[in-house]
Amino acid sequence: MVAALGLSTGAAQAQGAYPARPITMIVPFAAGGPTDVVARIVGEHMSRTLGQQIVVENVAGAGGTTGITRGAQAQGDGYTIMMGHMGTHGAAPALYPNLRYDPAKDFAPIGLAAGTPIIIVAKKDFPPADLKGFVEYSKANAAKLNGAHAGVGSVSHSTGVLLNSILGIKPTLVAYRGTGPALNDLMAGTVDFMTDQIVNVAPQIQAGTIKAYAIATPERSPALPDVPTTKEAGLPNYEVSAWNAIFAPKSTPKEVTAKLVDALDKALDDENTRKRLVELGGVIPSKTERTPDALQKLVESEVARWTPVLKEAGATAQ
Ligand code: MLT
Tens-digit pLDDT string for the chain (318 aa): 333 333 334 444 444 589 999 999 999 999 999 999 999 999 999 999 999 999 999 999 999 999 999 999 999 999 999 999 999 999 999 999 999 999 999 999 999 999 999 999 999 999 999 999 999 999 999 999 999 999 999 999 999 999 999 999 999 999 999 999 999 999 999 999 999 999 999 999 999 999 999 999 999 999 999 999 999 999 999 999 999 999 999 999 999 999 999 999 999 999 999 999 999 999 999 999 999 999 999 999 999 999 999 988 888 775
Instruction: Say how many Å lie between the CA of residue 124 and the centre of ligand 1.
Output: 21
Q: What is the pLDDT of residue 313?
A: 84
Instruction: Say how many Å lie between the CA of residue 3 and the centre of ligand 1.
Output: 46
Q: What is the pLDDT of residue 4?
A: 34
| Ligand 1: nearest atom to the Cα of 181 | 9
- Residue with the smallest CA separation from ligand 1 atom 9 is 178
- Residue with the smallest CA separation from ligand 1 atom 7 is 178
- Residue with the smallest CA separation from ligand 1 atom 8 is 35
Q: What is the pLDDT of residue 318?
A: 54
Strand partners, 118: 197
Instruction: Say how many Å lie between the CA of residue 113 and the centre of ligand 1.
Output: 15
Instruction: Say how many Å lie between the CA of residue 9 and the centre of ligand 1.
Output: 43
Q: What is the pLDDT of residue 247?
A: 98
| Ligand 1: nearest atom to the Cα of 88 | 3
Instruction: Say how many Å lie between the CA of residue 154 and the centre of ligand 1.
Output: 6
Instruction: Say how many Å lie between the CA of residue 7 and the centre of ligand 1.
Output: 41
User: Which of 59, 154, 195 has the most ligand 1 atoms within 8 A of CB, as the residue to mutate?
Assistant: 154
| Ligand 1: nearest atom to the Cα of 180 | 9
- Residue with the smallest CA separation from ligand 1 atom 1 is 155
| Ligand 1: nearest atom to the Cα of 182 | 9
Predicted TM-score (pTM) of the model is 0.94
Q: What is the pLDDT of residue 30?
A: 98
Q: What is the pLDDT of residue 11?
A: 44
Instruction: Say how many Å lie between the CA of residue 115 and the centre of ligand 1.
Output: 13
Q: At a CB cut-off of 8 Å and minimum separation 6, what does 307 contact?
A: 93, 94
| Ligand 1: nearest atom to the Cα of 34 | 8
Instruction: Say how many Å lie between the CA of residue 150 and the centre of ligand 1.
Output: 5
